[in-house]
Structure formats: structure tokens, C-alpha cells
Amino acid sequence: MYKNIFKYDDMKRSEHMAVRTAVGWYFWTHQILEIKGPDVTAFLDYMFPNDISSLAVGRDRYTTMLNEEGEIIDDVVVMRMEENRYWVSTLFATKTDDWWYFHQGDYDVEWGEITDEWEMYAVQGPKSRELVEGLAKESLADLKFFAHRDAKIDGIPCMINRGGFSGEKWGYEIYVHPEDCDALEALLKPSAEKLGGRQVTEFQVMAWTLPTEANFYYMRDLAHTNPFEAGLEKNIQWDKDFIGKEALLKIKEEGPRREFVGFEVPEADVYIRAKQYGGPGEPVYIDGEEEEVGRVSKMVYSYVKEVNNGYILAKKDTLHIGDRIKIHGYDAVVTEKKWL
């Protein structure tokens, strides 16, 4: 009989709930491209549909990156370090580098990957501010969400960014040079434990269970979708030119063909093949009907709600909250895409 790989795993549960109830910290380095030059803001505004020009120095902005068909090919965080210098945090630096190269045109910019120069630790949860302030010996009360500044932790030079991928109101990212990782970890571990927290070591907690509860996507979820299908259209800056704009305007006019919806499976021990494990994802049917209405994009487990949860990429307007559905023979129900 199949056993739920999340529900009965005490380590995953403990690490997940440490973030939800106290504080969890983990090594969470992304790839970083540093880009600069006289035309850097105009170039990034062309690469990304969200507004980059209004981003202040010391602030960050989440955005997708699109191809000419309006499909999402990456989602990144853009960090403005100086007037004409930015960091772009991605999981696909090589692909992004190639994409920029083929679309640089006459923009006067230069960029390079600086991932080897920085490591990042996520500190997430309701007690994360208390932990980071205790280490930095300074107040972070004025550090707004998606803002960063230089600091020192026990003499270690670092950059502290307020943000994260957990869905917690209070969360921070500490950037340090690789040679300082051991020293920082030696400070994070006891500090977290004093606050009732712990280190998070399970990748499935960092990348799947925590973000899914908060209605966050992984790039695998977003591949071959557009911002309207993913519910990410609200921050598109329509009064500028960007790659994919013409295709998106057509989608905006005609309406998207698909949409993400949330779902739950009450039965604990189920075998449902989601797209996150490879393949197209399990087909979804409205209970009592034979027509396929979508595919399971992701299924994990909510330790907060104690239920199997995830996302379905469904035909637009075919599934509504409360609908009863069948997935691989199991009963499921359509829900909101948030479990916090």
C-alpha cells in the first residue's frame, strides 16, 4: 500500500512547523547575475514585463521573464544595488545569460554571473526578525519587505534582505561570502534553537511544502504558462515595450484558456502523479463526468491544514471552489490556492 511521503515524515513536519511557529534557517543560495551599464534600466525594462524603472536603490522586485509568445521562461527577483547596477536572482543563470545575449541589441550593458562570490541563508518565521536582529546587533524595524542593506554579523560582512519563499510575514535572506558560511552557521544554529526553531535540511520543505501553502510557484509549475494563467498579470507594466507584450495583449483581449486552481485530497495515502515529479501530471475529471478538465501540476502536503494539497492547471472556468473532482480514482475537492 502506498504511504504518504510527507504526512508520516517527522523530520519534514518538524522543520516545516518550525518555520510556521518559530523560526527556521536554511542554505538557499540562488544563482546571481550582476548587470550594469548606462542602459541597464531600459534593458531590464525590455526583458521583464514588470516595472523596473521605478525600483529604488536598495529595493527588490519579483517579475516573470517571457518569450515572444508570452510564455513564462523564468521568474526572478531583481535587486537594485546602485543607480546603474542590479542583481538578478534566478535558478537558471545560463539560460537567462543566453536570452539576454540574443536580445541585447544596441543596449549599452554588461553582465556576469557572481554566484561563486555569494551564498545565501534564508531565515524564515515569526521569530526571524528577533533572531536576525540579535545577530546583527541592530534594529530591522525600518527594513521594508523586498528591501536590502549592508550589515555585519559578529564582524562578518553581509547583506540582509527582507524576503523569502515561505509565505511568512517575517523572513530574511542573509548574503555572505563563501568563506564566512561556517562562521555564520555556527551563529544561526544556537540562536534558532534558543527561540524554539531549528535548521531546515529537507529540500522538499524549502521548495515544496512551505511555498505551496502560501500560493507560491516553482518555475516547474510555471513552465509553458503565461502570467494570466498563473494569476501574475497584476504587476505587468503595459505602458512600456517588453518581450512578449504583443502576445500578452492578445491573451488579455481574448482571455486565458487555462488557470491554476487549488485542490485537496482528504484521503491520506494516495498515489497521484504530479507534474513536479516529471511527466504531464495526473488527469483531472469532474466527479461523474468523463471529459478531462486539467492536469495536476503539484501535490504536496499542508502540515498546517493536515491535508494533501496542490495546484491543478485547468481549463478556464471549468473548476470552481467546492467542486468535487476525481484524480486517479481518488476523491478531491477544488479549493483556494492558500493554506495559511
Local confidence band at 22 (pLDDT 50, 70, 90 cut-offs) = very high
pLDDT digits (tens, 9 = 90+) for 246-277: 999 999 999 999 999 999 999 999 999 999 99
| pLDDT for res 25 | 98
| pLDDT for res 2 | 83
Which has the closest alpha carbon to 315: 254, 233, 257? 257
| Percentage above 90 pLDDT, the chain | 97
pLDDT digits (tens, 9 = 90+) for 77-125: 999 999 999 999 999 999 999 999 999 999 999 999 999 999 999 999 9
Does domain 257-340 match CATH 3.40.50.11890?
A: no
pLDDT digits (tens, 9 = 90+) for 196-250: 999 999 999 999 999 999 999 999 899 999 999 999 999 899 999 999 999 999 9
| pLDDT for res 288 | 85
- pLDDT of 161 above 90: yes
> How many CA atoms are closer than 13 Å to the CA of 170, on its beta-carbon side?
19
* Three-state SS at 270: coil
Local confidence band at 163 (pLDDT 50, 70, 90 cut-offs) = very high
Which has the closest alpha carbon to 89: 72, 65, 69? 65
Q: Where are the domains of the chain?
A: 10-29+118-209, 31-116, 257-340
**And the C-alpha cell for 207?**
521548495
| pLDDT for res 53 | 97
Does domain 31-116 match CATH 3.30.70.1400?
A: yes
Q: Which CATH architecture has domain 10-29+118-209?
A: 2-Layer Sandwich (3.30)
Average pLDDT estimate for 176-194: 98
CA distance 236 to 243: 12
Average pLDDT estimate for 167-188: 98
| Percentage above 70 pLDDT, the chain | 100
Local confidence band at 162 (pLDDT 50, 70, 90 cut-offs) = very high
pLDDT digits (tens, 9 = 90+) for 56-88: 999 999 999 999 999 999 999 999 999 999 999
| pLDDT for res 287 | 85
The DSSP-derived string for 194-235 is HTT-EE---HHIIIIIHHHHTT---HHHHTT--HHHHT--TT
pLDDT digits (tens, 9 = 90+) for 24-49: 999 999 999 999 999 999 999 999 99
